[in-house]
Amino acid sequence: MAGEAQMSLLQGLPFSLCEAGPETVDGVGNFYIQIFGHEPSSHLALSTLFLLDSHGEIESEVRKPDYEAIKQSQIDWFTRASQATKKGNDSHVTMVFFHIPLPEFGDSNIIVKSGQRREPTEGPSFNSHLYDVLVKESVAVVGCGHDHVNDFCGLLPRPEGNGPWLCYGGGSGFGGYCSYDGIRYHRRCRVWEIDTSTGGIRAWKRVEYAQERVDEEVLVEGGVMVVQ
């Protein structure tokens, strides 16, 4: 089903906040959601959640399967929107979500805080360097899916400091998500908790057949990455 048709269906669902996004930007579903405080409060957004279309599989001589990278028009749109939404608010927290992981999710230097890497990262062979822009825009967390049994949160060490967190949502679907090579993997999904009063982000996973929270952790506190 084409992206436009999928978006039309999603927009018709109860409580849907989906938007198709600007027609001048590649893909369908490039939009953001802003979170404001309770009234009476500042008119400034306390947090912004960006969603980007990470496209799909492409024909490639480099890698099979291979995937289309997030494009420059999307990166340019994100940069402009990011700078506009956080203007005048030093405690603003930004999170970015898309389906197919960036190449940086597969970096061997990534420091895993929780969860596990159970399979190689499967993403685009071409790096459009969105990650570098996310660093420049002080994005706190990046969330993705796609890989069936990866569910970790990790950081890439950088000389100028860590961040953003690179996190998988966990395999929440049926079909191929249950196991690889006979190793049982129960379905799971990541839950995000944003504390707009302190600039904090906490995350944990809900796992099928389990009542308790799994891998609960504080990722950001006071707008700063919690590395320990």
Task: Render pLDDT for 1-18 as a digit per residue (tens, 0 to 9).
Answer: 578 888 999 999 999 999
CA distances from 208 to 64, 78, 151, 175, 187 (A): 32, 35, 14, 15, 5
173-217 per-position pLDDT tens digit? 776 566 666 667 788 999 999 988 888 999 999 998 888 999 999
CATH architecture of 17-35+44-187: 2-Layer Sandwich (3.30)
Q: Per the confidence metrics, is the pTM higher than 0.95?
A: no
Angle of CA points 153, 159, 165, to nearest 5°: 15
Quickly state the pLDDT bin for 80 (edges 50, 70, 90). very high
Q: Which two tokens stand for residue 111?
A: 């420091």
Please choose, from the candidates 194, 188, 179, 196, the residue with its C-alpha nearest in 3D space to the C-alpha of residue 215.
188
